[in-house]
Structure 1
Amino acid sequence: MTRRLMLLDTASLYFRAYFGVPDSVRAPDGTPVNAVRGLLDFIARLVQDHRPDELVACMDADWRPHWRVELIPSYKAHRVAVETPAGPDEEEIPDTLSPQVPVIEAALDAFGIARIGVAGYEADDVIGTLAGRAAGPVDIVTGDRDLYQLVSDARQARVLYPLKGVGTLQITDEAVLREKYGVDGPGYVDLALLRGDPSDGLPGVPGIGEKTAAKLLDAFGDLDGIMAAVDDPASKLTPSQRKRLDEARAYVAVAPKVVRVASDVPLPPFDATLPKTPAHPEALADLARNWGLGGAVDRLVSTLRA
């Protein structure tokens, strides 16, 4: 029987929950738990609406991997709150969100929902590796457009992009990518690196925006084709495009490795099977009581049983 796998870009979802659920949602001791409750409700809705057989919460064990920063030093540099020679950079996140992350992790573990983060890699890389290994359909739930690169009709891999909570999702397949961006999944890597992404500290090629990048890819096929056109005096690049691309050679040479998600992350042993009942009911009951999560926990328990 074909099994449907759902992969959660967990940080993307709990950030959305944090900003989408009022911080008046608090534990009995007054600690905000809006991200925790929001994420649990997101998962319940996703399971109810899409009925995955397997589900993995993918985590950022390293949100700014050194190997990416070595290639492009500006990568996510604007998000760094504290940089220490002895350890990894710390990501600047809202003060009332960071204390909720351990509670989220404990809740996922108590439910028995697989949770995977690997040192030296982002959640995107874990998702890319799992999607590449999947034998059946894959639904990737993320608010990060970078993961559009994994969309493939042939492999039945699509991105569920939240537009409003997770009740309204853009089901992103190859047809949607071509309509919106004029590229397929692999082509999105070339589009993204040419366009750049200020939110990730990717400079892009100056003067080459999304529409121009799409036109260049349509004309020359891929990034290699575009750069070959730079060296071809007979190609139909404008003088300014030729100049800008020529000046960006150093960036273009390394950007694909930074933008493309890894597909060979060494994953730990795990069981992705969606649990029917909580793996650790007593621990889950303690979390529900201590953090005021009763309603969200009950809703997810009921959804899993159904």
Structure 2
Amino acid sequence: MTHRGYTLPISKITKEDFNPLVALALQEDLPEGDITTDSLFSDNESTTAILLSKDTGVLCGTDVIPCLIDRLGQNVTYSPFLQDGAELSQGLKIGELKGSLSSILKMERTMLNFIQYLSGIATNTAQVTKQYPNLVILDTRKTLPGYRKLAKYAVHTGGGWNHRIHLSDMAMLKDNHVAKAGSIKSAVAAVKERHPTKKVELEIDSLSQLDEAISSSPDIILLDNFSEVDTRTAISILKGKAPGIRIECSGGITPEKLSFLSQFEGIGVSMGYLTHTVRFLDISLDIQ
């Protein structure tokens, strides 16, 4: 089921989704082992370690732990106390690892990098969606290469909505596409003829394009970098002339700019901010 004209959300992720990135991360972090840990501890020393929140936010990315255990610590077990989507506060225990001290120390940094990063995205998103529940807060394709599915899952976990996942998902006509096609109408028509079952989104950057945009009947019209005055005018025209076309706004949108847009009920707002302006959430692994 899609949401308001957009794509299927990434509502679930598994350890298999982490595998390619985890393989690269471990190759990067352990090219010839861990000389510190290997010098100090034997393989048969055991410990208990607590994954602990030291911050306020939304938990995300814990399925990286069984992926790491498969690769580094078959003699390690993980018992979760909280699941992805849980609200975190300082001092809250997320889960417990038991087993080989050596294996747990070797996976610690990689594990925290994934969980802190994805929890940061989920927290970013939750803060925005809770403050502006009448807007459809959308992510973008501004994600780190290789992290697309994980980052969009984190947005969904934080209460946001996924825009197109990749270029094969739906069509999005921007100014370069329209310029080479000759006109808005010809560009929209060409995509609809070639891919009649795919949704078509059309980006415009001025009011002068609005009439032709409406007449070409895309599924979504994106108002890119419109001023507040032009945004108000465009939305009024679209709701009057084309109530079946979804409306989306974009262009350097930060949380501070959402107050104005929130007066327009139910419009989409795509925010690269959700995934490219991220602070790692403070989460630690405490060896007992």
Task: Give the TM-score taking structure 1 as reference length.
Answer: 0.23
Q: Higher strand fraction: Structure 1 or Structure 2?
A: 2
Highest Rg: 1 or 2?
Answer: 2
Task: Give the TM-score taking structure 2 as reference length.
Answer: 0.24
